[in-house]
Amino acid sequence: MVKLDEIFPVGIGTYRLEQSDKATALSGLHYSIERGQNFLSTGFSYADGAVVELLSAFFPTIDREKLFLCTYVEPNVHTAGAVEGQLNAYLKQLHTDYVDCYQVHNPFETDLPLETMYEEIFRLKREGKVRYVGASNVSPKDWKRLTEQGTLDFFEGIYNFECRNYETNGVMADCRERNIRFVCYQPLRRNRTAQKQYPLLLELAKKYGCTQNQVILNWLAHQKRLQTIVKSLTPANIDANLAALDFKMEAADDCRMDAFCCPECEQIPVDWDHSGVGVPIHLLANQF
């Protein structure tokens, strides 16, 4: 089984995994594994379960114990017993008897209390169906409650060059203090960040002979020491993402990346407490 310190810095994303060309999708997944990527996250909310169905053809073709699998408790869970029921559905479709990490995907859309769901998740860990417990997209207040309820191993949240909410509100620092692995999704905002043509990214891409996206992934992996999730299916794109790990930026340039501020993102209010004011954190990166 993959140990926490063996997880590759760039994870395999499956959101919007290509459904129209399953052969290409499966080939891309195999290529990612060949290149050393060993973290994959998926959930039943992706394409209404079609992604998990596609992965059901992938898992029997790999060495399961060489892949770290993270799955989500989705919002259609309305009873405590359904938390295990959904896990059992993952186990059946993905041909495995355990998941490496299980976590509530989006508390904002879930009507069952977080405490109730995590009582079940911690129980499933004790029973061996789940190796590690994670949290995703929670408010700072809910984060504090969860860390008091039990030991968390992962936190998955939006974090990129522009959106740094989980850094400014202290969750990222708390993860470091507790030795909780911080996993950031949408690290490239699905290429929207590069399309903004920020002068700093353009300058550093020219300086290091790489792309803007490689500058971002390099900074996240080396300077911020974060794990990223990126969906790429073609060998060329996978190679480009992994090449971002092959160089080291100068300390002064890392500091400039750290100091960058995106007023366009910062002026968007986040609705942490279902007040109806602002946007849920999981939708923040899609707003600009």
**Tokens read off for 116:** 């109730």
Average confidence (pLDDT) over 160-188: 97
Q: Are 153 and 180 in contact (CB under 8 A)?
A: yes
How confident is the model over 38-58, as a mean pLDDT? 96
The answer for residues whose C-beta is within 8 angstroms of residue 263's C-beta and 6 or more apart is none
Per-residue pLDDT at 19: 74
pLDDT of residue 20: 78
Rounded to the nearest integer, the mean pLDDT of the chain is: 96
Structural domains counted in the chain? 1
Token pair of 267, please? Answer: 């002026």
Show the domain range for 222. 4-286
pTM metric for this prediction: 0.95
- Alpha helices by DSSP H, the chain: 22-34, 50-55, 80-93, 114-127, 140-149, 165-168, 171-178, 192-195, 199-208, 212-218, 235-243, 251-259, 263-266
| CB contact at 8 A, 220 and 228 | yes
pLDDT of residue 16: 87
| Those residues with Cβ within 8 angstroms of residue 266's Cβ, 6 or more apart along the chain or in another chain | none
Which residues are CB-neighbours of 96 under 8 A, at least 6 positions away?
59, 64, 69
Token pair listed for 286: 């899609």
**Quick one: average pLDDT of 105-123?**
95
CATH number of the domain where residue 126 is located: 3.20.20.100
Cα–Cα distance measured from residue 109 to residue 105, given in angstroms and rounded to the nearest whole number: 9
CB 90 within 8 A of CB 64: no
Residue 56 has pLDDT above 90, yes or no: yes
Cα separations in angstroms, 175 against 55, 66, 115, 178, 225 = 30, 25, 19, 5, 12
Element containing residue 73 per DSSP (H, E) = strand 68-73
pLDDT, tens digit, 9 for 90 and up, residues 219-236: 999 999 999 999 998 999
pLDDT tens readout for residues 197-225:
999 999 999 999 999 999 999 999 999 99
Quick one: average pLDDT of 33-44?
Answer: 97
